[in-house]
Every structure is written in C-alpha cells, then in structure tokens.
Chain A
Amino acid sequence: MYKIVSKETLNQAVELMVIHAPYVARKCEAGQFIIIRVDEDGERIPLTIADYDREAETVTIIYQVVGYSTQKLSEMKAGDFVVDFVGPLGQPAPLHKCDHVIGVAGGVGSAPLYPQLRKLHEMGVKVDVIIGGRSSEFVILSDMFAEFCDHVYIATDDGSLGTKGFVTTVLQNLIDQGEKFDEVIAIGPLIMMKNVVKLTKPYNIPTAVSLNPIMIDGTGMCGGCRVSVGGKTKFACVDGPDFDGFEVDFDECMKRQGMFKDEEHNCKIGRGE
C-alpha cells in the first residue's frame, strides 16, 4: 500500500498527488513514469513522474481526471492509500548539454515536462517554456516553471491568458523573431506534438516528444504500447517514453489511442455514470 501524502487541485480537471513510494523515489529520473492501481481489481494506469523527493521518499504525479480510474483516484484524499505504485519505468529522458532549449507543454503535459526542463537548467542550459491550455484555468505549473525558465510563454485557445491561439502560434512567432533553439521538447496531446513537429521539422530543430500510449505492465511484457518510430516498431514502455519527434508515426499513435473508446463508454454506462 502506498500512502497519499498530500493532494492538491490544480484546476477543475487536473490534480496533483504526492505519494510515498520509496523504491520509485530512490531511483527515478526525469522522463520516467510509474504505473498506479487505485484499488483491488483496478486498472493499471501509467502516469509520468512530475517530481520526486529522494529524502522524503515521495513521488509527485499530476493527472487529468478523464476516465474511470482517474475518477477513482480523484475520490481519494491525503492519508488514503493506493494499492499499487510501481516504477520507475521507461528510459530517463535523453537530456544533453547545449545552449538553449524550449519546452512546449499542452494541458497536463506540463507535468512531465517540468522535471526535464529543471534538469536541463541544472545542467546549465538556458530554458524557456510555452504552456498551452483551452483557457487560463487549464494552464498549469507556470509559477513553478518561472523559477528557472528565462521566459514563460502562454497560449490559450480563448485568449483568456497569454497569446490567443495554440502553442505552435507562439513557437512560430519566436522562430520568426530569430530566436535560436538547439532543441524543442514537446509534451502534450498527440495532435499538439504532431503539430509542433510539423513546425520544427522544416527548420531542422531536433524535437523530442513523450508518448503515453495504452499499456498494461509497463515492463515490455504486453507490447500494447507499440509505436512506429523511423519505420521500426518500438515499445514506448521500455524504449521510450521519449522519442525523436521527427521519426514518430503520430497518425498511428492517435488511432491506437482509440482502441478501447467504445469500452470506455460502456464502462461508464455499466457503472451508471
């Protein structure tokens, strides 16, 4: 059993939990993820690690309440226990020293992006970030990014905060203004990552993306998370979750994400939701 040390609501759909998980906290690095099971007979769901504290042996997760299991998780409070919490899974993000990196986050994608940019900053890299959301409420972690990012740019669909438009609108503007980036790290919805790559590829700015496909075990056993990268099949759980965005077949990823759409719906009906 793994204790929920604290819980915070970041907006109407996104919550943060700090969970006591010694094994994960001791070993995890930016870019890795965990699998959580809320209760007995629950689903195994993968979530990226947003932060960790090796001394307190805690791990921070940030999740969007979208389906059955995240709803169940959302019903829990500080002091409660989740039955399973395993990791760290996946490869640490391949971060390397360079001059200037910009992170691009969409919605809850800010969470996995945060430890990567912080690590780059610690490595002496100049970092900026673009955070996107439907409206101001969906822009999360901007204060935390501001602690080490030179610039925090914000884009909202409705213009309620920052630039009206998408994260790609802001990124295009920066490139047009002559900003030079050695690398882009984009984490968010598949369609956002696809569009960021579409933008950066002609400029040949290396772009890393982080994938979070459907999976069961997270250790390479089920193969449900397979993704085509550079024409080769990779397992996001053990080969990723970070990949070279130029090589990822996003259309296939988006299709595979919809594998159990009908069942998700039935599941809710079956439970009278």
Chain B
Amino acid sequence: MAKNMSMTKVAMPEQEPNVRNKNFDEVALGYTKEMAVEEATRCLNCPKKPCMDGCPVNVPIPGFIEKVAEGDFEAAYEIITSENALPAICGRVCPQENQCEGRCVRGIKGEPVGIGRLERFVADYHMANSVPEPVDIPKNGKKVAVVGCGPSGLTCAGELAKKGYEVTIFEALHKAGGVLSYGIPEFRLPKDLVAREIANVENLGVKIETNVIVGRSLTIDDLMSDGYQAVFVGSGAGLPRFLNIPGENLLGVYSANEFLTRVNLMKAYKFPETPTPIKVGKNVAVVGAGNVAMDAARTAKRLGAENVYIVYRRGEDEVPARKEEVHHAKEEGIIFKLLNNPCEIHGEDGWVTGIEVIKQELGEPDESGRRSPVPVEGSNYVIPVETVVIAIGQSPNPLIRQTTPGLETQRWGGIIVDEDTMKTSKDGVYAGGDTVTGAATVILAMGAGKKAAKAIDEALSAEA
C-alpha cells in the first residue's frame, strides 16, 4: 500500500471552542473511517517499532495500524485488546506525546502518526458495531480480590479473569470506574463509554461490588481469611492537598476532587434535574496547572463562569498538564496567570471575594529539574473571584495503610512495592497505580495492574 507521506496528522474534527465551552458534550469528535485509513497509511511499519517501547501496556501498535489501513477494523480491535482492556479510554486520555507517539519515527520530521486517534477510532467503531457478549473462560478455582475499580484495578482484574481466576473488585463509591467516573469530565471522556468498557471487563467474569470500603467495611486481612489467595490494591490517590493558606475554609473554596466529583459523579451540571448542587461564581480561580486543573477550569467555564483563571506559581515551561489540554483550555477562553503564587484567600461574611497572589520570578532548577519560582517582594495583588478550586495534587488515601498491619508505605503515604512484580511488603498483597506512584496517568496505572496480574498468576500457579 502506498505510504501517506504527509508531515501532519489527519486533523480530527472538534466542536468549535465557543460552542463547546457551553456544553458538556465531547470536545473531539473522532475520525471517520476514511480519515482513519488515511492516517493509518502514514505508519511506515518500521522494523524497530519504537512506539511499542513507549506503551506501558505493550499494544502491538504497527500491527493494529496495518489492519486499520486495510480497512479491517475488527481485526485491529482484536489486536489492541489482546494487550489493552480499555482502548476507548486510552485513545482519549493517554499522554501519547510522551509515550507511543513520542517515539514514532515520523515524529522526527513532522508530526508522529496519530496513534491515539487511531486507537480511539478502532475502539469506537467496535462499540458502535458489536454487542458485548459474556466470554466463557474455564475457571481455575482460585480467588483474587482487587481493591478499587479504577484503571489499575480493572486492568489487573481483566487480565486475571482471562486466565480463569475468580476476581472480585471492591469499590468504595457507588459507581465503578474510579477516576474515570468521578474525575475526568464528560467532555473529555464520556461516561457511557466508560460504562461500556467496564461492561467488557465484567463480561470476562469479573465481579464488581460497589459500596465496599476496604479499610472500613472490611480489611485486607478479612479478604485473606475469606479465601482470597491474593489481593491487588489499586485504591488511587484520593486525598486532596490544600495550600494551607488563610481563607481556605471560606465558602466557595473547593478541592478539585470535590468540584469534579460533584459535576462528574453526581452530575451537578444537570442540577436541579439531579439533586446534587454546585455553586460557581462569575469569576473562578483554579490553583495549579496539571491535567486536573485544566479539567476543573474548563468545567467551571461550562458551568457559566465568565472569567476562569489558572493560577500557577511556576512558568509556562513548567506547566505539568498535557499540551493538548492547555491548548484546549486556552481556546475555550481560560486565562493563564502564570508565575503567580496564592498567599491568601479573601472573604466577606464567610464567602470568597478574591485570591491574593504574589508574583514570582524563575530561579535555579530544583530537585525536580524544574526552575523554582522566587517571590517578587511587594508584588502582591488580589484577583477578584467568588470561587476557588484547589488543584495542586492528591495523595493516597490513608484508610488502607492504617488498617493493614505489615504493609509498608513511603513517608508521603505511597505503598512500597517491588517494581518488577508490584509485590508489597505483605505476603500475597500487590499494589499499583496512583496509590504507589502518587497522582499519575491512567495508562501507567493500567501498566502496573497488568504487571501485578502477571506476578499474581506466576505466584499462584507455582503454589498449585
């Protein structure tokens, strides 16, 4: 087949910025069949396959792209799902620019192949053209418990179920999906699609029990004595960090977790059709500049805020969010206040009236390699806002480490594991995802879940 030597990716249709910043529908609209085939022919199918080294779950990328180029989309789906249980999700939220696409040969001169867009197309095509059916896998009689129904837990459970394990996932919230359900907004990751991907994992025989908080409703030791031969902990990083500056308990200050959970999980954007409310002022400051901050800012805009500011103490080069998210946010009218460090939230009668910031200059690189900001004496000023969302990161929830004797953790709360097997210090207990790394990406969590599944299988097979 003739190769398409275009330097740029086939553009993906998107909603217009000024239309989409008023609705919660998905921003990117996805490729048509024709677009997908055209983009797929940009892949050179080079012998070294560097893209695959960049994929935490080892999707055979050139193989599936070849099938797309041939127009055999179902075969492409089979290839992707041999290694990745959640392709419609990964095609949307993976930071491909640092992973597969970041290593693509075509990216040396011009844009890399749009691997994420193709993955998304294939997954969407399959969903639109097939009915999920339960798969009959012979059981091996061994039970594994998974704590947390987010990306790492779902992946670990799916992998083990494929091998015949009887797997039960215990989820603290009333809904499966973890951050995919409560955190990432509808306009970036539609929730019915998340539900479909989870149903695919359930079709492998995985049981999901919602409303069970491991560390409260039961403990890891209880699971072990209930006959589970291994436990995988993928409980995420659910504990929000605050700034610890004056005024943080004023009305109108939210953690990004609360803000996004109200909107995504509890569907507050439909209030009063749904009973959970959210209150957003005309002016909103989101503190932080990661992906979560972008999600919060763009959500605030969609909820009707006129001026939404990203307030960040470092500079443009240090912004941790994906470039695409920053680009989308700017297109939608989000105002970036970089090198501005919040020092106090002002209020009147208990309600937020503004956020006081001090301007910063960039100094020497710190231990993270990012140039550390230095305050400019006397440069304080107040940005008038009625709502402040704190999006400066999350740490692992302490419930599990407080209730699991023998489970060693880092000082900041992360569970300590052997990086090759994801084994913890406690026999039979494995962990992965944000609860090990601190807040990271969906795909890294999935990679960890997969690694743990392999190690659990090896350990339990050796026992038999």
Contacts and interface: CB of A to CB of B under 8 A. Distances in A.
Interface string A215-235: 011011111101110000100
Given A27-B216, A83-B174, A89-B213, A238 B398 contact: yes
A256 interface: yes
Interface of A is mostly: mixed
A259 interface: yes
B251 A86 contact: no
Nearest to B254: A224
Contact of B258 (A26, A44, A223, A263): A223
A88 B275 contact: no
Contact of A263 (B173, B251, B277, B398): B277
Given A222-B258, A255-B350, A88 B210 contact: no
B217 A238 contact: no
Contacts of A69: 275
B262 A216 contact: yes
Contacts of B267: 41
Contacts, number: 123
Given A43-B275, A68-B275, A222 B251 contact: no
A3 to B, nearest CB: 14
Given A216-B262, A219-B399, A267 B251 contact: no
Interface in B114-170: none
Contacts of A270: 272-273
Contacts of A267: 271-272, 275, 277
B217 A222 contact: no
Interface residues of A, number: 45
Contact of B257 (A43, A221, A269): A221
| Centre residue among B174, B218, B254, B279 by max chain A CB count within 10 A | B174
Interface residues on B, range: 35 or more
B240 A223 contact: yes
B293 to A, nearest CB: 16
A247 interface: no
B172 A44 contact: no
B216 A87 contact: yes
B242 interface: yes
B52 interface: no
Contacts of A86: 172, 174, 211-213, 217
Nearest to B349: A255
Nearest to B260: A222
B238 interface: yes
B276 interface: yes
A152 to B, nearest CB: 33
B266 interface: yes
B261 A256 contact: no
B223 to A, nearest CB: 12
A152 B265 CA distance: 44
A221 B238 CA distance: 5
B275 A221 contact: no
A40 B23 CA distance: 23
A94 interface: no
Interface string B375-391: 00000000000000000
Interface in A226-256: 226-228, 233, 238, 252, 255-256
A256 B251 contact: yes
8 A-B pairs closest in CB distance: A270-B272, A263-B277, A222-B258, A255-B350, A23-B217, A86-B211, A223-B255, A84-B174
Interface of B: 172-174, 182, 210-213, 216-218, 238-240, 242, 244, 248-249, 251, 254-255, 257-258, 261-262, 265-267, 271-277, 279, 350, 397-399
Interface of A: 23-24, 26-27, 37, 41-44, 68-69, 83-89, 216-217, 219-224, 226-228, 233, 238, 252, 255-256, 258-260, 262-264, 266-267, 269-271
27 contacts: A23-B212, A23-B218, A27-B216, A41-B267, A42-B275, A43-B266, A86-B212, A87-B213, A88-B216, A219-B238, A219-B397, A220-B398, A221-B257, A221-B397, A222-B258, A223-B242, A223-B254, A223-B255, A223-B257, A233-B244, A252-B350, A255-B251, A256-B251, A258-B251, A260-B277, A263-B271, A267-B271
